[in-house]
Structure formats: structure tokens, C-alpha cells
């Protein structure tokens, strides 16, 4: 059934109001978005646990949520306890060896650059660089007392971060417990005349979001492991940090491999002081990128998303420009849902008389 002009204007106004509210409330929406993502990722596991029966005992929804929620918290805690100290150790060792690496750059690399690029290339001020780098590292690791002063002067910001971190598990628990009921209530809000269409679009959007959010999450973890393992095998000291970083940003096409190659090449050049050690770095990221494109992404994500790489890059940049870090997180899921809606509009258009009927003379 076609919409009247008043109904169309009402939908446009409602959409504009929702977008404006999201824009204004974006600074406080981050914990809710993280909580919703955790609830969405955990809902299939909770549904499966609800159907599991041991003898005469069966888990209810709340108990299943508690089991899943506890497992998620334990995994995140264990990961942080292992990964953060290891990264801190690697960075500390790298900084300890940095004076010799910078001296090698001034002795061997800078003269070559001056020969081909002119005297505009000047030697590195190693003493000043080391003071800055060590100062920032001490603040980041909490080894300097100035960090306490910074926290005291930024109490509201620190309190806000702590509040958000505490809100995420609380909101996640309640969303995960009431997820099925929320979906039913949202479904019942739509007019009955559009219920069939809405149900179809919701199912397609859920398939796309599941393929992206769950599949891409596994791809990111797998690529982080592959890059870290490869860099560790070539004895790169910052293998864990660079490997995890390249894996985490691999959801942007080619960005993970480009950033990884740049950072790993710089680290290898400073550590080994030999251009030949750049070859193993290129091999690691070449093999990893091939595994991602030919095996991991088709297997874990599939072809349900279908977003062109240019569209992905634009969506991420546009989301960051409009909503900051929250926009970056939501860019690709929102773009995937918009793609489903545009596909539906395209089908309606190609089935319409306006498209199929020839012009009358």
C-alpha cells in the first residue's frame, strides 16, 4: 500500500529527529553501543544454552546469560592479563635499545639520504627524541608521578571513563537477558500492513550483521594471531604489538596490511640495522593477506556483506567525521543495513512499471 504525503513527511521528520538525537547524544552512547554489540554476539550462544537439557534440568534465560556473561568476562580478563604485560615488556626492551638504533640511523642512513636528497636532510636529535619518548612511555606505563597529577587535574574525565567501563557489563547483562523480548516488542511496533516486508528486511539485515560482526570479529582475531606469529618467527621484538594492531584494523580493506608493513619495517630496520631483514617482513604480511583474502574472509564472513572496498573506506571516514570513535565502530554495520535497504529499493524499482514499460508515443 502506498504512503500518503502526510505519512511520508511524518516518516522523514521522525528520521531527521532520530538522527539529530543520535548526533547530540553520541558522547554518551559508547557504553550502550559496546553493550549492544556484546549482547548481539552472545545471544545465539544463550539461545543454544536454553535448549540444552541435562537429565531433568534445563537452564532458564537468566542462568544461560550468567554462564555466557561469566565466560566473556573471564576471557577478556585473561587476555588483558597476558597481553598487556607482554606488550609493555616488548616496548620497554625496544626503548632500551633505541639509542643504538638512532645512532645507527645518523651514522648509516642519514648520509645516504643527504647524498641523494640534499643537505636539507639533517641528523636526528637523538638526545631530545629519547627524552620525549621515555617521558611519554613512563607516563603511559604509570611509572612517573606526573601521571597522578594528571589524573587529579582530569578527575571528571577519568570518572567518566570508569563509569562507562562499569556501565558496559551492567547494560550488556540486561540487554542479553531481555534480547528476545525486545526484538518481539520492536517487531510489534511496525504497522501490520508492512509487517511482511519489515520481517523480510529484518531477516536479511540480521544475516548481513551476523556475517559482518561475528565473522569479521573472528577474522580480526585470526589475523592478529597470524601476523603476531609470523613476526615472532622472524624474531621481531615488537611482534605482539604490531601483529595485534594490524589484526584489529584489518576490517578496513588493505589498512591492516599497509599499517603493519610500515610499522614492522621501521621496527625491523631499527632492530636489525639491515635492509635485508625487510624481506621477511614483506613475506609475513604477504602470506597473511593472502590467507585473509582467499581463506579466512570467504570462510568466516562469506559474501553476504558485498560492500565495495571504496564504500567501506568512505563509510569508516564518514562515521568518524560525524560521530567520532562511535561512528567508526558503527560505520560498517550501518552501511551493511543500508545496503540491504538499497537492495530492496532496487528490486522495487526494477519491478515497477516506470522501469519496465517502454515509452509511449
Q: How far apart are CA 257 and CA 259, in angstroms?
A: 6
* 255 close to 223: Cβ distance less than 8 angstroms: no
- Does 338 map to a domain? yes
54 has pLDDT over 80: no
Q: Domain range holding 339? A: 191-353
Q: What is the pTM of this model?
A: 0.68
Percentage of residues in the chain having pLDDT higher than 70: 78
137 inside domain:
no
> Would you place residue 39 in the very low, low, confident or very high pLDDT band (cuts 50, 70, 90)?
confident
In-domain check, residue 323:
yes
- Indicate whether 28 belongs to any domain: no
| 70 DSSP assignment | H
Q: Is residue 301 very low, low, confident or very high in pLDDT (cuts 50, 70, 90)? A: low
Position 261 scores a pLDDT of 93
Tell me the C-alpha distance between 117 and 103, whole Å: 20
Going along 61-111, which residue ranges are E strands?
none
- At residue 156, does pLDDT exceed 60? no
Per-residue confidence (pLDDT) for residue 248, from 0 to 100:
87
Q: What confidence score (pLDDT) does residue 260 get?
A: 92
Q: Tell whether 303 is covered by a domain.
A: yes
How many domains, the chain?
A: 1
The residues pairing with 267 across neighbouring beta strands, listed in sequence order, are none
Half-sphere exposure of 35 toward its Cβ, with a 13 Å CA cutoff? 21
**Residue 320 placed within a domain:** yes
Determine the average pLDDT of the residues in 6-12: 69
In a domain, 87, yes or no: no
Report d(CA 29, CA 21) in Å as an integer: 11
Judged against a pLDDT cut of 90, whether residue 283 lies above it is answered with yes
How confident is the model at residue 124, as a pLDDT?
A: 62
Interval 94-125: pLDDT, tens: 777 777 777 777 777 777 676 676 666 666 66
Per the model's pLDDT, the better-predicted residue between 174 and 90 turns out to be 174
Domain annotation covers residue 178 = no
Q: Estimate the crossing angle of helix 239-248 against helix 61-96, to 10 degrees.
A: 130
Dihedral, 211, 213, 216, 217 alpha carbons, nearest 10: -140
Residue 127 clears pLDDT 70, i.e. is over it: no
CA distance 232 to 90: 12
User: Distance between CA 346 and CA 361 in Å, rounded?
Assistant: 27
Amino acid at each position: 500500500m502506498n504512503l500518503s504525503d502526510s505519512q511520508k513527511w511524518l516518516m522523514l521528520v521522525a528520521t531527521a529527529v532520530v538522527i539529530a538525537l543520535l548526533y547530540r547524544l553520541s558522547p554518551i552512547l559508547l557504553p550502550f553501543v559496546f553493550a549492544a554489540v556484546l549482547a548481539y554476539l552472545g545471544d545465539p550462544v544463550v539461545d543454544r544454552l536454553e535448549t540444552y537439557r541435562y537429565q531433568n534440568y534445563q537452564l532458564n534465560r537468566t542462568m544461560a546469560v550468567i554462564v555466557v556473561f561469566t565466560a566473556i568476562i573471564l576471557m577478556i580478563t585473561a587476555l588483558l592479563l597476558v597481553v598487556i604485560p607482554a606488550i609493555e615488556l616488548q616496548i620497554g626492551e625496544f626503548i632500551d635499545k633505541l639509542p643504538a638504533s638512532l645512532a645507527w640511523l645518523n651514522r648509516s642512513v642519514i648520509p645516504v639520504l643527504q647524498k641523494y636528497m640534499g643537505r636539507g636532510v639533517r641528523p636526528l636529535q637523538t638526545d631530545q627524541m629519547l627524552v620525549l619518548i621515555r617521558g611519554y612511555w613512563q607516563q603511559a606505563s604509570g611509572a612517573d608521578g606526573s601521571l597522578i597529577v594528571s589524573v587529579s587535574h582530569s578527575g571528571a574525565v577519568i570518572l567518566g571513563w570508569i563509569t562507562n567501563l562499569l556501565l558496559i557489563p551492567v547494560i550488556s547483562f540486561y540487554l542479553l537477558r531481555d534480547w528476545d523480548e525486545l526484538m518481539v516488542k520492536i517487531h510489534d511496533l511496525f504497522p501490520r500492513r508492512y509487517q511482511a516486508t519489515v520481517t523480510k528486511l529484518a531477516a536479511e539485515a540480521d544475516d548481513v550483521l551476523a556475517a559482518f560482526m561475528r565473522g569479521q570479529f573472528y577474522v580480526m582475531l585470526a589475523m592478529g594471531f597470524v601476523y603476531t606469529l609470523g613476526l615472532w618467527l622472524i624474531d621481531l621484538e615488537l611482534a605482539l604489538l604490531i601483529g595485534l594492531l594490524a589484526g584489529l584494523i584489518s576490517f578496513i580493506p588493505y589498512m591492516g596490511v599497509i599499517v603493519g608493513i610500515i610499522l614492522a619495517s621501521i621496527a625491523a630496520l631499527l632492530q636489525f640495522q639491515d635492509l635485508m631483514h625487510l624481506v621477511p617482513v614483506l613475506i609475513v604480511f604477504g602470506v597473511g593477506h593472502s590467507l585473509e583474502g582467499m581463506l579466512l574472509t570467504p570462510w568466516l564472513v562469506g559474501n553476504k556483506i558485498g560492500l565495495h572496498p571504496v564504500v567501506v573506506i568512505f563509510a569508516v571516514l564518514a562515521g568518524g567525521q560525524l560521530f567520532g570513535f562511535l561512528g567508526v565502530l558503527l560505520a560498517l554495520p550501518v552501511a551493511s543495513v543500508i545496503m540491504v535497504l538499497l537492495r530492496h529499493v532496487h528490486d522495487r524499482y526494477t519491478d515497477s512499471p516506470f522501469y519496465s514499460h517502454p515509452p509511449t508515443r
